[in-house]
Amino acid sequence: MDKSNCIYVAGHRGLVGGAIVRRLEREGFTNIVTRTHAELDLTDQAAVYAFFEDTRPAYVFLAAAKVGGILANSTRPAEFIRENLLIQTNLIDAAYHSGVSKLLFLGSSCIYPKMAPQPLKEEYLLTGALEPTNDAYAVAKIAGIMMVKSYRRQYGFDGISVMPTNLYGPGDNFDLTSSHVLPALIRKIHEAKVAGEPSVTVWGTGTPRREFLHVDDLADAAVFLMSAYDDEEIINIGTGEDVSIGELAALVADVVGYEGEIVYDTSKPDGTPRKLLDVSKLRGLGWSPKVGLREGIAATYEWYVAQGTR
Ligand code: GDP
């Protein structure tokens, strides 16, 4: 990528797209194109084609997606499969037809089978049944991976698919009905501290293990891979380390300065027991994360408090 190339970041208002734009700006890229949802509905095929014809980006970061935590995914699967299939199908096809030089598609670590061995190697894709709480979303992402691979094979289109682990950071969604666990715990524990509540409720048993990557690290890896990676196989992006939800709650409580009790609501689902990525392929290319979990949580908490706590 040259600094003057036209680069389209789809989904720039989201956690990932926003971080990619910040990263590109910091590196001195001068021709970054974005569109808000009101300006361009990515589920509208005709509008997406017209946008690509007019704008003719050279590079595309496909970070636009309908995303959510365990509750949103398990209660609204129809929205997750429909919107993600439409967005990615329109964008990948329009990118190919308008002559985009390279496209990077962002998947998710939930594409791997629920009971796959840990850590999750790229080759475990499509080797077993999915975790039911987010299978509709996962199938959409798997279709995107297959579409990128197929366009590469049949048309020689230069697309790559990267699989980030659970992400967090400034710009995250802190709505308790749709957020992921880390922003949810920051909000719940902060509110309990402010209100002087004696306890905070965490969903599930606290035993599932998750890996967390700061979104600035993800953006760094995505920009790196746009240049450094060119293969039809997917590539994982993570830290290679995980914590239990109970350990995460204790860490967030420590950062926030909350001394109350953590209680578990086991009527809520645990989801997949463990989701740790094998990141040896990415490390082999020379990339490693820079933001530690405690430091990243502290920075995200600071951002959350600065936003006003709604
Ligand atoms: P997942 O990684 O797709 O399962 O998505 P989440 O980030 O939503 O949930 C991860 C784990 O954290 C699951 O075991 C949840 O039950 C657990 N969890 C505990 N408390 C919360 C909460 O307040 N919100 C969310 N979203 N998850 C929570």
State whether the beta carbon of 208 lies less than 6 angstroms from ligand 1.
yes
Q: Is the CB of 240 inside a 6 Å radius of any atom of ligand 1?
A: no
Average pLDDT, the chain: 97
Is residue 310 over pLDDT 60?
Answer: no
62 Cβ contact partners less than 8 Å away, ≥ 6 residues apart? 10, 11, 88, 91, 92, 103, 104, 105, 106, 144
SS3 104: strand
157: CA distance to ligand 1 center in Å?
36
Whether the predicted pLDDT of 46 surpasses 60: yes
- Output the CA 116–ligand 1 centroid distance in Å: 19
Q: Give residue 194 CA to ligand 1 midpoint distance, Å.
A: 23
Centre of ligand 1 to C-alpha 183, Å, is: 10
pTM to 2 decimals? 0.96
DSSP lists the bridge partners of residue 104 as 61, 160
235-270 tens-digit pLDDT:
999 999 999 999 999 999 999 999 999 999 999 999
Q: Are 13 and 38 in contact (CB under 8 A)?
A: no
Average pLDDT of 176-194? Answer: 96
Question: Residue 308's pLDDT is what?
Answer: 80
Q: Which atom of ligand 1 is nearest to the CA of 166?
A: 2
Res 289: pLDDT: 98
- Of the candidates 201, 272, 278, 205, which has an alpha carbon nearest to the alpha carbon of residue 237? 278
Question: Is the pLDDT confidence value at 189 over 60?
Answer: yes
29, 63, 37, 12: CA torsion to nearest 10: -40
Q: What pLDDT, on the 0 to 100 scale, is given for residue 249?
A: 98
The string of pLDDT tens digits covering residues 72-105 is: 999 999 999 999 999 999 999 999 999 999 999 9
pLDDT greater than 60 at residue 309: no
Q: Is 118 exposed, middle or buried (0-12, 13-18, 19+ CB in 10 A)?
A: middle
Q: What is the pLDDT of residue 280?
A: 98
Core vs surface per residue 274-291: b (16+ CB within 10 A) or e = bbbbbbebbeeeebebeb
273: pLDDT strictly greater than 90: yes
Is the CB of 210 inside a 6 Å radius of any atom of ligand 1? yes
pLDDT 10s digits, 154-173: 999 999 999 999 999 999 99
The answer to whether 137 is a known catalytic residue is: yes
Task: Check residue 262 and give its pLDDT.
Answer: 97
Per-domain residue ranges for the chain? 7-169+212-239+276-290
Catalytic residue among 96, 137, 229, 301: 137
7-169+212-239+276-290, CATH topology level: Rossmann fold (3.40.50)
The span from the CA of 265 to the CA of 267, in Å, is: 5
Residue 209, ligand 1, Cβ within 6 A = no
Q: State the Cα–Cα distance between residues 217 and 212, nearest whole angstrom.
A: 11
| Integer Cα distance of 40 and 25 in angstroms | 22
pLDDT tens figures, 115-164: 999 999 999 999 999 999 999 999 999 999 999 999 999 999 999 999 99
Calculate mean pLDDT across residues 205-222: 98
Q: What percent of the chain clears pLDDT 70, i.e. is strictly above it?
A: 99
Strands (E) across the chain are located at 7-10, 32-33, 59-62, 102-106, 159-164, 166-168, 199-203, 209-210, 212-214, 235-237, 243-244, 261-265, 274-275
